[in-house]
Amino acid sequence: MTAYRAPVADLLFTIQELAGMAEISQFSTFRDVTPDLIEAILEEAGKIGSDVLAPLNRSGDQQGCQLENGVVRTPDGFKEAYRQFIDNGWNGMPFEPKYGGQGLPWLLTAAVGEIVQAANMSFGLCPLLTQGAVELLAAHGSDNLKSTYLPNMVAGVWNGTMNLTEPSAGSDLASIRTKAVRDGTTYRITGTKIFITYGETDFTENIIHMVLARLDDAPEGIKGISLFVVPKYLVKDDGSLGHRNDLKAVSLEHKLGIHASPTAVMSFGDNEGARGFLVGEENRGIEYMFTMMNNARLTVGVQGVAIAERAYQQALAYARDRVQSRQLGSPAQHSVAIIEHPDVKRMLLTMKTKTEAARALALFVAGKLDISKSHPEPAARAAAFTFVDLLTPVVKAWSSDIGIEVANMGIQVHGGMGFIEESGAPQHLRDARIAAIYEGTNGIQANDLVGRKIGKDKGVAVGVMSERIHTFLADHTHDSCDGLEVVCVRLERAVNALDRASQWIVDTYSTSPTQVAAGAVPYLELLGRTVGGWLLARAAFLARTQLRAGASGNPGFLQGKLVSARFFADHVLIGAEGLADTVIFGFKSVEEIKSGDF
């Protein structure tokens, strides 16, 4: 497996030039977050990624986790790496200093998250979920819950989990059967939860489970679900750990990938019932849990970017070293490195540009998240949240799909060696595959996008996004494109196709939602490609300006931005009009076929 090196240059460029860090750094809470500090943090994150986490990636995949008498043993070196991770403060980056956090932007946290996930996705799942649980409690927990749990969770001494689904429920959370019974000021929780990442681990002193359960007198369906904090060890009034709660991991799943991450089947209340503490009000659990779920959806999208970057780095290194066949059209008889062959170049450029586009999209949304939380003007906060709400399902689904596609293409670049586990390439595909499934499958993300974000919204939010792109094109007329004309033309056609598909959804959703749902996934792909292409186009124009100004640094990196925008336009944006046609006309065959006809 090729050594991992954090893409600090591209992260810095994206944060500063595309994701809005210049605006964010003007807020009072972030005025100390200077470009030098950002670069220093990314450099240090790169070191822990390349020197500590990445070397454990393959060995952890091979060794996996073991469950012995209810105790999980993580692979060799992981526990020590986690201790180093939390001792250096990485777990608490975006959280309030009063709970021990560093008060840094989510934008910077997302960039560091990419480095951690690329270095070792199995490892990175633990802080990913803890950060989501912290945000949930910070937003919806009582003062007592916050003071009891947040300091140790922010520090990473305790980790957090998300307990949603059950054997009979899947993604249909309205069907969950886990019960909660009132017991004075607390509740007794009984039931089984599945697919609980880090539900049991030897990393931390305590595990704080966020558990969805239903009271006996609750309304039916999704509106009758409550949310509870259920700790592995109960916490005494003085903050020390008390006795073991009535919960345990009964088994670990045998998975396709992320072998070093323990995915547990959790049993609550085999004896007297696990003690749980209500978050917020009864029967509002789904509402509260969406805070954690949306946090996780953004970070899962970052996982897709991370695995794509890791797979691209490995494929690029292999293509430079692997010598095979003469160069096409050359009179020379000797074989050349496969990176000289046109089809390999095409694959590498596909991997490179889709990774860059997904990274730009994820960080753009993370930047808007910071603005939505910290801008002093309510109208500006609301405007920024419009982008967060619209694009979060796109970040999750489009970026995780790209992670799978790029990892799969990385195997192809390796040829026969890519099918051999020792090459390291298969692990990236195996690890990436889950990201399209958890936190709501990508089909669920697409249905949410076309239903709630486009159909019910009457296209207002996507119209704002589209207008940003049209304004960009108006500011960069074809006469001023100067070498980037094709990028402008392809982007204009793509955003026009997006407008056409969006209007059809608005016109159709209220009367024929199933017709819209049939094209939901192609629509999400269309929106991802268009916004991703816009961000790459912005990057190209900015890079060209810096090159003409004689910017110091790496001109090859800036030149690469021009190439990325052009390749993405020619090979990815060019499919936008076909995707729009699929959205508008593709429902016909889906409607016509009956389930018995398969």
Per residue, what are the HEC states of 452-498?
HHHHCCCCHHHHHHHHHHHHHHHHCCHHHHCCCHHHHHHHHHHHHHH
- CA–CA separation, 185 and 277 (whole Å): 8
* Segment holding 263, helix H or strand E: strand 263-268
**Which residue out of 114, 135, 340, 439 is catalytically annotated?**
439
Instruction: Report the amino acid identity of residue 253.
Output: E
Residue 79: how many CB atoms within 10 A of its CB? 14
Secondary structure (3-state) at 119: helix
CA distances from 414 to 312, 336, 490 (A): 11, 15, 31
**Enclosing H/E stretch for 215:** strand 206-215
Give the separation between CA 107 and CA 299, rounded to whole angstroms.
Answer: 11
* Number of CB atoms found within 10 A of residue 89's CB: 15
* Pick from 213, 232, 260, 271: nearest CA to 73: 260
Could you tell me where the DSSP H helices lie in 375-433? 378-414, 425-432
Rounded Cα distance between 183 and 278, Å, is 11
Distances (CA, A) of 240 to 198, 244, 322: 22, 12, 57
CA end-to-end span of the chain: 42
Residue 4 per-residue DSSP state = P
Which residue is associated with the tokens 């293509």?
319
User: At 246, is the secondary structure helix, strand, or coil?
Assistant: coil
DSSP 134-187: HHHHHHH--HHHHHHHHHHHHHTSEEEEEE---TTTTT-GGG---EEEEETTEE
CA-closest candidate to residue 398, choices 277, 475, 504, 308: 308
Pick from 309, 526, 319, 531: nearest CA to 403: 309
Q: Which residues contact 183 (CB under 8 A, 6 or more apart)?
A: 273, 275
Give CA–CA dist 375/377, Å, rounded: 6
DSSP state letter for 74: P
Q: CA 77 → CA 64, 225, 404, distances in Å?
A: 12, 39, 27
Question: In 3D, which of 142, 117, 10 has the Cα closest to residue 535?
Answer: 10
- Which conformational region is residue 64 in: left (phi greater than 0), alpha (psi within -120 to 50 degrees), or beta? left
439 is catalytic: yes
Residue 129 to residue 103: CA distance in whole angstroms: 18
The residues annotated as belonging to the active site are 439
